[in-house]
Structure 1
Amino acid sequence: MDRGFRRSLSEPTLYIKSQGNDTLIVSLYVDDLIYTGNNEKMIQDFKEDMMKTFEMSDLGLMHFFLGIEINQEKEGIFICQRKYTETLLKKFKMESCKTVTTPLVTGEKYQKEDGSQKVDGSIVRAKYYAAAKRILRYLRGTKDFGIWYKSTNDAKLVGYTDSDWAGSVDDMKSTSGYTFSLGSGIFSWASKKQATVAQSSAEAEYIAAAATSNQAIWLRRILEDIGEKQEEPTTIYCDNKSAIAITKNPVQHSRTKHIDIKYHSLREATTRGEIELKRAFAIAEAYSKVLLTTRNQNIASAEYIYKLECLSEDEGWELLQKIALSTNYSQELPTTEITLLEEYGREIVKQCGCLPLPISVLGGILRQEKTSIEWEKVCRNLDSYLRHGKGLENDKRVEQILDLSYNVLPFNLKPCFLYLACFREDEDIEIKDLYLLWMAEGMISLEDRGRGESLQDVAERYLFELASRCMVQVKINEYSICNRFKSCRLHDLMRDLCLLKGKTAGFVDVVDKQIGRDEASSVCKISRLAIHLDNLDDDHIRNIGKNKNLRSLLFLEKRWKFIERNHMEDVNFGVFKSLKILIFESYKFKDGKLPKGIEHLILLKLLSIKHSNVEELPASICKLPCLQSLNLQVNREMKIPNLMYKLRRLRHLYMPDAIWSWSIIIGGGKLKLDGLNDLETLIGFSSSKFETTHLLKLQKLRVLNGIISDDESLSMIVDHILNHQDQFHDTQLFVRKYCNVNREEDGSTLFRRLVMCHSLSDLRTDCGTDCGVIKLPTYECHMLYRNVTVLTLEKSKMEEDPMEVLEKLPMLRRLRLESDAYVGREMVCRATGFPQLRSLFLSQLSNLVDWRVEKGAQSLYSRALP
């Protein structure tokens, strides 16, 4: 204490020393000292002082404590008990036992005298002996599991409580349980039998919540002692509404006098504002609750949000019947008529996307139509009925609700939403393309960027907000942890709203013959024009030059359709002085040449020729002063001038796919990147086509996708990524057969260093004959393969079963083993392996004769196999 420390009043073994914003924390355990802090000098002075005063030694950074393994990294701390578990299994000779997925059999009850046979009359009964063995089997399957505490500034204490009412068969006492999380992981938990018999489930839950409250108060005080004071009440989630009511309503007190007074400390803690007990959502007692519905999830952000799924086809048909048909229609109509009504009705439900709202509106329309002929007309002309059909004069529900959804959008989201009108009906819009459009238009505000965020991160938040408001439908990207979404789309009715609002405001117009829009109306007032080329005559292309004030111009063709357009050469794009975005998607140019005038678009920020037939990129394109995004992803041979380095403002570069196409560099040599200081995304990198040394100079590069064909380039890139882990967010590499990934440098193979890269999400290796046998580095908790979600191994000739390592990868979702990647005869897939696997592909493993899938893993692999 005379050294400036103060003892925690809540934990007598905890001492804290503070100097301004610097803190040193010391904990005593028997004859050990554990210390940490945010000031290196304070730590060093304390260590030297203790070693002078007492006879002790410094054991360095803590790796083990009380059987717990501790792995400390810059990003956080991971704890597990792998070695302790292995020692325990070895003690009972169960190192090779079969694993199970649960520590005890679900629903099994144990009691002191159950009449089961004794294994040894003086020791234990058979039932409990089997239970103890099952626990050890469970431990073997989960020995590599642990808790990851990620570095974060959000140190909010959150608790969860539950009870098992009358769970003890012997004395009918209940069991209390709680857990607390702080930041990213749980750090305090307990399960204990209650001291008294609870007379109701509410009482059992209340007693459990009281114990949880006491623990929460103790944790709050310790956190306050170490400088992490919880300013807001600690939320504890409980699934029993009556237990919550007891803490708040004084009228309940007379009904709870039989509860031991010591448990009412929970009520006092709630009154003081230290604890806030919240209800967890449960489907029980649904008819006794008031439910509020909203299209905006943020309205209910303070409470639990239950997301409703779309109706099934049967449920949608049932809803349509209730609204459109009389209750006894099956008795009034002939069987053939009933069959036709159901056929057309189910088709209408499908076209409505199984959404209750449009089904209900159509039901109101169909109520007046009694015959299958009229139903067929509605089914055939569904869009016109929804927008202009009979019945909507008196019932504007669809229009009003959709209008309201748009009108309440924040101002920064409205243009983002309206831009979606450019795309086709029912089209899955690629997220990366949408983000580039938004950014080029300046719709993504720099002011919305958080610390360390890029504009793409902000764009993802914008899309998430639109999805939360049910304005767009998003498809989750299952094979990436960096990009949350894969694609998005608009419901037909929402797209109609988008087109209407966009055209009315002069924001955007669409030329699409399929929906009866052959011409862009009010062309002089429209800022953005999307032309869907399907079934469109070339005459429409000639007339686009009439509107010289366009900011965005998109030519969109269905992929692989490739109808040659002969009149694009008649258009001089130089007249569009304000143009910022120019898209030619799947466009087939005459003679494979870009049209004239593009080099004069000095304000152009985004140029895309994705999936088009352009054979050569004009050198003049590399002189556009404002170009930020360039998409050259054509699946064919393409000539590219070695002038890319002149695009000083370029942020996103998408090169032709190096697997399917071969770019020819005009002027010879390798493509220079030196000078692209703002480049954030590089897709299609190839070490045989690019200057690898220039890649190492790109200080803002966050996303890298490429093919590596030589050892020197691979070594340079891996070392660069390892030295700049915070810079790279997503790395996808295809290591060709010319690379020897077994080559050792500083005692570590090139492959091991590669999988140490935290940004590596997608890895494909095609090992050559000179590479030898690949040996997978043993999985180490959050050190290797940390974020690998997609892994493809070819010709690696692994002799040991790779599943022993690969099944432990925490984020692996797609695995492909091909062309003698494994040359062994046996392969075992365990029930506890592959926690997130979605797809498994095995091909041309010529020596494999025995593939065993343990019980409990069948559902996983039946889903994973293509």
Structure 2
Amino acid sequence: MAESVVNVSLGILRDLLVEETKFLLSVGGDVNKVKGDLRSMHALLMKADRERRDSPTLKLYISQLRDLAEKAENLLETYAVEVESKREGRRSLKEKFQRYICIMCECNSVHKVGKEARRVISALAELTNKLESELGRESSSHSKQEDERRRLLRQTYAHEVEHDFVGMGEDIEILVSKVKDETRRKRVVKIYGMGGLGKTTLARKVYHHRDLQSYARAWVCITQQFEHKAVFSKILKQLDSNAKVDGLEVEDMVTRIHSLLVARKCVIVIDDIWEDVHWEIIRKAFPVNCNVILTTRYENIAHQQSEPHKLRFLTQDEGWALLQKVADFSPVDADLKSFEDIGRQIASKCEGLPLSICVIGGILRQNEHTLAECRKINVNIGSYLRHGEGVEEYTRVKQVLELSFDALPYYLKPCFLYLACFPEDHKIGTEKLYLLWMAEGFISHQDNGPNETLRDVAQRYLTELAMRCMVQLHEAEIYSPRDKFDWCGVHDLMHDLCSSKAEEENFLKRIDASKYLCGSSSGRRLAIPSSMGNSISRLAISYKFGSVSSIGRLEELKDLRSFMLLKTGLLFGPHKIGFKEGSINFEMSQCLRILVVDCVEFEGGKLPSKVSELIHLRLLSLMFSNVRELPMSVCNIPYLQTLDLRDQYKVVIRLPNVIWKMKRLKHLFLGRRIEVIGGEKLRLEGLDELETLDEITSETARIADISKLIILRSLCVTVCDVDSMSLVSSNKNSQLCETKLVVKSCDLSSKKGREVLSGGLMSPSLATLDMYVCNMSGSFPYYKQGMCQNLVKLRLIDCKVKVDIMEFGKYPMLQLLLLEGVETTETLICRSNSFPQLKNLRLHHLEDLRKWEVEERAMPKLTSLWIDGCRNLEKVPDGLRLLISTPREIRISSMPVEFMERVKEEDYAPFVKLGNY
């Protein structure tokens, strides 16, 4: 765990020392010395993380290093900001005289930095010596015995019997049939999933299946302490009981195993494999016809050689059945139905994880089976799962989950711990998570490859956590080439592990506002518990319902680096938290890097005046807050990367025309309704590091500046005239990955207008196109090669245009199509293989549409169909019967009575919702 705590500070220091060296002209030698010492310290910490995770002395040294790194980081940033501001050009004689005075001050600043750098060097050297001494000590015999005990507890054996087994019947049959199928090209099956899902149990059931008893078989458990010679020895002994392995070299063992298997039907189970390199070593012993079953927590193990089999969570019925078996239910209470109701609630709270169900079942088995006892356990199930109440199985649960955490590489540990900011069962927006990780410094510049941004690296990190089964990614209903997943979640037990580790290492603290409210309903106040202490680096406060007038004790906190107020319920609504001018003592929290105050009611509708003095701030989020005007001084926050001003559509936010001065701004989110103070359009030129611009409109922003944002990756823009649309469509920025274009009340009937529209449809970055009340005076452009190659959403609403819907079926990536109030052909024929990616089809008020036919293999991925107000449509197409197994949603409204009655008689009637929507 050592690395996860300090790696962030080391990474930030490393990047800062690279970026800011140009300002440290007179202390360059000392700065380089610090950089070298940090590299040595980093190597030591990696060793510490592997060897002595539980050392109290080591934890003390790590805490000292973290404080030292943060101190150096803030010193460098402050110095860079002061010198940079003083070196800006001055012209007048008076300013030149002031500049001479500033030079003297700078010399003093440089001297201070040099002096402080030497202190850092000295302190790092002292800590290095202490760490080396601590790590150089021989582990005690007790420690060695404990390590061996843990290893033996994790060891699995083929002969073990699973007494309590539920579900997986289909999985067993699938895997057995794969083993028996000698025509398969890939003979390796990989069972993967989160710790505690029952991967070993499933492998053991297949291994002992009656149809495979004649096969040559071997079972070997790898664990994290991989010893290839021992692995080959175990396999050889099981395949040949007379084999003499003593004195055999690894090469001889590999040859013997290969020769024993090459002409036989065989199945080998490699249980609990942790690294791909381990598989690469082991697989050399197996011939191509050898059936191998791997169990692992990592999706990417043996990725090219194996067929993946992802283990699912238990259903509610299966969870209840398993709980009954483990608990050995024979309730003395006569009310069996009540027992089942409570038991099902318990199983549901375990979220289908067999290991947690077995823990609770073990607790129930040790207690008297009374209704009162079951209710007690149901109410306090979280506590029982965390602490086990003396049940030995909990030790196994804790070990199983901690194994996954301990095996994380150093760069993923802080990313995982940061998930503790969010409450259980919260849908964590991936975009928000990326921005937070970047602002914290978890994503290093050294990790991004060619043409890769830090956001791309963050996305890669989250994917890796998912492949390690630490988080669960949710695929967006409609996804773009840039973003396939819109939110992620964490299983409750994994969240418990995350939260406990985060608090144990003083990494962050999260509190649920509902537990600390006081006062009357008209003036409720959130009182931060005094037990939390005054020195917290990261604080997240989550709240769901209810309004809070103010937050108490927040101003007493010092050294705050991250503060988040997270609304976890609906963003819209009356539930707000009041935030007064003095809520945070900014002088005590000058190191603040993240300030997330979503859905907050600021006193007077204004930001606290001292926010602009937070020179270390990276992320400022005011989403859905009541801020009506941004102060001019916001441009003085030199390191700000993300500014989020998205709001409710009724709110108008007044902006000073100074955002272009925020040179390090990378992600800018604006509300739909902004007003630029002074009347000019918002200037964007100068934002040379801007990657995300969401969203601007041609009415209030300088659209011509978009072409000057040379590394822009994501753009959301609304245009209301042909010239603005032309500027967006003709943008040649090769870095731009995704454009969301909204065209409102635009006259495109001219030759230029038609050319602009046709040219825009050829843009490879165009991902979303919404057109409202536009005049195209003719037909929508017909498809040609290369058109709309990445378009995933198309909405045409109340536009003067004739469309041939069949042409849209040629768009290769189109996933959502909404047509409303446009002219169409009388007959729509969805040809075979058309609309290959379409998931959501909405046809509203298409008066011309009369007949609709769907051929076989058209719209193969359709999941949602809405038909509304198409009064001349004779019937839903017969071909839709072919899609009935796929659609999750069919809605029909505002249609003639005859049409509705006809629908009720069709086979797909049970899938249809009739009415007005």
TM-score (norm 2): 0.59
Q: Which amino acid aligns with 1:773?
A: G
**Contact 2:388–2:394 (Cα < 8 Å) also in 1:** no
Distance 2:552 2:445 in 1: 38
Task: For 1:590 and 1:617, locate their aligned partners in 2 and report how far apart those are by CA, in whole Å.
Answer: 14
Counterpart Cα distance in 2 of 1:566 and 1:255? 73
Question: Offset of 1:848 from its aligned partner?
Answer: 2.0
- What are the superposed Cα offsets for residues 601-651 of structure 1, whole Å, 9 maximum, x if unpaired? 011111000111111111111221111110000121111111111111111
Residue 624 (structure 2) aligned to one of 600, 611, 615? 611
Helix, strand or coil at the partner of 1:603: coil
Aligned pair partner of 2:819 in 817, 820, 832 = 817
The alignment partner of 1:494 has SS state of: helix
Matches within 5 A, 1:113-152: none
Give the structure 2 partner of residue 663 of structure 1: 674
1:696 and 2:707 are equivalent in the alignment = yes
The residue type equivalent to 1:313 in the other structure is Q
Question: Which one of the candidate residues 349, 352, 358 is aligned to 2:350?
Answer: 352
Query: Aligned-pair distance for 1:765?
Result: 1.4
Whether 1:597 aligns to 2:588 is no
Cα distance in 1, alignment partners of residues 579 and 706 from structure 2? 40
Q: How does 1:78-117 map to 2 (within 5 A)?
A: none
Q: Which runs of 5+ in 1 are unaligned?
A: 1-173, 179-244, 257-272, 281-288
Q: Is the 1:562–1:586 contact (alpha carbons within 8 Å) kept by the matching residues of 2?
A: no
Q: Is the 1:592–1:615 Cα contact (8 Å) retained in structure 2?
A: yes
Cα distance in 1, alignment partners of residues 887 and 402 from structure 2 = 45
For residue 500 of structure 1, report the CA deviation from its aligned partner.
1.3
Contact 1:313/1:350 (8 A) holds in 2? yes
Equivalent position of 2:778 in the other structure: 773
CA distances 1:199-228 after superposition (whole Å, capped 9, x unpaired)? xxxxxxxxxxxxxxxxxxxxxxxxxxxxxx
Identify the residue that residue 844 of structure 2 maps to in structure 1: 843
Alignment map for 1:697-776 (pairs within 5 Å): 697-720=708-731, 723-724=732-733, 726-740=734-748, 743-744=751-752, 749-768=755-774, 770-776=775-781
SS in structure 1 of the partner of residue 375 of structure 2:
helix
* CA displacement at 1:524 relative to structure 2: 3.7
Q: CA deviation at 1:800?
A: 5.2
Alignment match, 1:687? 698
Instruction: String of CA shifts for 1:286-335, please: whole Å, max 9, x gaps.
Output: xxx66442223344446423211222222222222221125xx5xx878x
Deviation at 1:678, TM superposition (A): 0.8
* 1:665-690 deviation line (CA, Å, top 9, x unaligned): 11111000111111111001211111
3-state SS, counterpart of residue 700 of structure 2 = coil
* Closer/same/farther in 2, CA of residues 595 and 815 from structure 1, 3 Å limit: same
Alignment counterpart, residue 628 of structure 1, candidates 619, 625, 641: 641
| Paired letter, 1:679 | L
Q: Does the residue aligned with 1:367 lie in a helix, a strand or coil?
A: helix
1:548 maps to which residue? 558
Structure-2 residue corresponding to 1:402: 401
Question: Structure 1 residues 597, 346: closer, same or farther in 2, change over 3 A?
Answer: same
1:185-584 paired onto structure 2 within 5 Å: 291-301=293-303, 303-304=305-306, 305-325=308-328, 329=330, 337-369=335-367, 370-393=369-392, 395-478=394-477, 479-514=479-514, 519=529, 521-534=531-544, 541-557=551-567, 558=569, 559-566=571-578, 568-575=580-587, 576-584=589-597
Distance 1:544 1:176 in 2: 63
CA distance in 2: counterparts of 1:520 and 1:481, whole angstroms: 48
- Cα distance between partner residues in 2 of 1:467 and 1:278: 30
Q: Which moved more, 1:810-819 or 1:514-523?
A: 514-523
- Aligned counterpart, 2:201: none
The SS at the match of 1:486 is strand
Report deviation, 1:856.
Answer: 5.4
Give the aligned partner of residue 35 of structure 1: none
CA offset at residue 477 of structure 1?
2.4
1:503-532 Cα deviation digits (max 9, x unpaired): 121110112144679527443442111122
Spell out, residue by residue over 1:447-468, the C-alpha distance to the aligned partner (whole angstroms, 9 max, x if none).
Answer: 1111111111100111011111
Q: In the TM superposition, what whole-angstrom CA distance separates every residue of 1:754-806 from its partner, at most 9, and x where no partner exists?
A: 111111111111242x43133232242xx11111111111234554531x211
Conserved 8 A contact 1:509-1:530? yes
Amino acid paired to 1:319: L
Say if 2:796 is the partner of 1:793: yes
Deviation at 1:819, TM superposition (A): 1.9
Cα deviation, 1:110-165, whole Å, max 9, x if unaligned, reads: xxxxxxxxxxxxxxxxxxxxxxxxxxxxxxxxxxxxxxxxxxxxxxxxxxxxxxxx
Contact 1:565 1:590 in 2 (8 A): no
Q: Could you give the per-residue CA deviations for residues 219-275 of structure 1, whole angstroms, max 9, x where no partner exists?
A: xxxxxxxxxxxxxxxxxxxxxxxxxx9xx966799999xxxxxxxxxxxxxxxx99x
CA RMSD of aligned residues (A): 3.3
- Write the distance in 2 (CA, Å) between the matches of 1:384 and 1:739: 64
Unaligned runs of 5+ in 2: 1-181, 187-253, 266-282, 517-526, 859-879, 892-917
Match of 2:663 among 648, 664, 684: 648
Paired residues of 2:537 and 2:560 also in contact (CA < 8 A): yes
Given that 1:358 and 1:398 are in contact with CA atoms closer than 8 Å, whether structure 2 keeps it comes out as yes
The alignment partner of 2:408 has SS state of coil
Q: For residue 637 of structure 1, what is the amino acid of its counterpart?
A: V
User: What secondary structure sits across from 1:627 in the alignment?
Assistant: coil
**Shift of residue 864, structure 1, vs aligned partner:** 6.4
Report the Cα distance in structure 1 between the residues aligned to 2:633 and 2:820, rounded to whole angstroms. Answer: 44
Task: Note closer, same or farther for the CA distance 1:790–1:742 as it changes in structure 2 (3 Å cut).
Answer: farther
> Aligned equivalents of 1:175 and 1:426: distance in 2?
44
Distance 1:491 1:252 in 2: 41
What is the match of residue 71 of structure 1? none
Cα 1:618–1:777, aligned 2, differ >3 Å: closer, same or farther?
Answer: same
In structure 2, what residue type is equivalent to 1:340?
S
Structure 1 residue 711: Cα displacement: 0.4
Task: Determine the structure 2 residue equivalent to 1:228.
Answer: none
Taking a change above 3 Å as real, the CA distance of residues 357 and 785 of structure 1, as seen in their structure-2 partners, is: same
Amino acid of the residue matched to residue 379 of structure 2? R
Q: Secondary structure at the match of 1:763?
A: strand
TM-score (structure 1 length as normaliser): 0.63
- Asked if 2 retains the 8 angstrom alpha-carbon contact of 1:523 and 1:546, the reply is no
**1:293 maps to amino acid:** T
| Structure 2: distance between partners of 1:510 and 1:572 | 17
How many aligned positions are there? 584
Distance apart, 1:828 and its partner CA: 2.2
Given that 2:528 and 2:552 are in contact with CA atoms closer than 8 Å, whether structure 1 keeps it comes out as no
Shift of 1:569: 2.2
The 3 A distance-change label for structure 1 pair 250 and 468 is closer
Question: Aligned equivalents of 2:260 and 2:301: distance in 1?
Answer: 31
Paired-residue identity, %: 38
Q: Are 1:564 and 1:589, in contact at CA under 8 Å, matched by a contact in 2?
A: no
Indicate conservation of the 8 Å contact 1:774/1:797, yes or no.
no
- Please give the alpha-carbon distance, in whole angstroms, between the structure 2 residues aligned to 1:801 and 1:668: 43
* Structure 2: distance between partners of 1:741 and 1:342: 68
The alpha carbon displacement at 1:377 in A equals: 2.2
Alpha-carbon distance between aligned partners in 1 of 2:304 and 2:850, rounded to the nearest angstrom? 56
Contact 1:364 1:391 survives alignment (8 Å)? no
Question: Residues 835 and 690 (structure 1 numbering): CA distance in 2 closer, same or farther, change over 3 Å?
Answer: same
Which has a greater percent of helix?
A: 2
Describe the SS at the equivalent of 2:586: helix
Give 3-state SS (helix, strand or coil) of 2:335's partner.
helix
1:440 is displaced (CA, Å) by 0.7
Question: Of the two structures, which has the highest relative contact order with CA contacts closer than 8 Å and spacing of 6 or more?
Answer: 2
How many angstroms does 1:534 deviate by?
Answer: 4.7
Partner of 2:598 in structure 1? 585
Is the Cα contact below 8 Å between 1:702 and 1:730 reproduced in 2? yes
Distance in 1, matches of 2:412 and 2:183, equals: 49
Kept after mapping to 2: 8 A contact 1:686/1:708: yes
Residue 572 (structure 1) shift: 4.9
